[in-house]
Structure 1
């Protein structure tokens, strides 16, 4: 194969790979992958998809939620509230749980109460923080008690995957979809 100036992409690939035995196959594969990437659309439609949004009026909510949101300096025009938001392909709904962390064998989960969208790109979750008990023989978490309201930006969650709760009698249980690393 001649490396002419019009084949600069192939020259660069050959130099970087340092594999000259299956050069034609490797270059053809890499070129097909590049063309596929360039012709494809983005995997996600948008970073934030909001359904049924409305203007956030903090005075309509309980004093506990207002107290929780005091640290966030939002103006009413910048923030929208929604029962369901899809952020980077993951849908967050009111009533679902997200993992907040653990300390001293206590695991904290947050039950989503509100989903706030700031400037159309930053997603904040207002949650009821619950202490849970891990049951290793069943590999699930039993929701023990409500502690306080808290908020967190979705980018700073320990685990991005929301969980549905299962109720048996008066008890709530959470089954993780994958392993949660407790570091």
Structure 2
């Protein structure tokens, strides 16, 4: 094989057992209508050369007024499809620092096909003076 597989699983991979997860994760996966057949919960994946790890943040929605982020809490892989279960966070832009400060998580979780994300780039989450912040340094204009 000349080219590597599109999705490479890195680290641990366990069978996804729906009943073992909290209700927010269960609800998000159920609403997304994701098949649990042969589904794996993995700690990290590499997709088209980009590594996604639990705990990183992705942009879910971006407008002139606000940006909503999703913290990756579960990565699900099924054959050639893969999904994130995201803990959603609203944010406030810290203009002087060029950062976004994430609010406490909302009560909402979301399960999305990774190909449908607004932006593909995973963002590390930093703790600065008891605030969780992210820096946008990619295609979503900050």
Query: TM-score, normalization: structure 2?
Result: 0.89
Query: TM-score, normalization: structure 1?
Result: 0.70
- Does residue 129 of structure 1 match 2:129? no
Task: Give the structure with higher Rg (CA).
Answer: 1
Please, which of 81, 99, 120 is the counterpart of residue 41 of structure 2? 81
- Shift, 1:46, TM fit: 1.3
Superposed, which structure 2 residues align to 1:161-172 within 5 Å?
161-172=121-132
Superposed, which structure 2 residues align to 1:27-106 within 5 Å?
41-42=2-3, 45-51=4-10, 52-103=12-63, 105-106=65-66
Q: Contact (CA 8 Å) 2:86, 2:109: kept in 1 or not? A: yes
Question: Relative CO higher for 1 or 2, CA cutoff 8 Å, sep ≥ 6?
Answer: 2
Structure 1 or 2: more strand by fraction: 2
The equivalent residue for 1:160 is 120
Q: Which runs of 5+ in 2 are unaligned?
A: none
Q: Displaced runs of 4+ in structure 1, greater than 6 A?
A: none
Total equivalences in the alignment:
139
Q: Contact (CA 8 Å) 2:32, 2:111: kept in 1 or not? A: no
Q: Contact (CA 8 Å) 1:87, 1:123: kept in 2 or not? A: no
Structure 1 or 2: more helix by fraction: 1
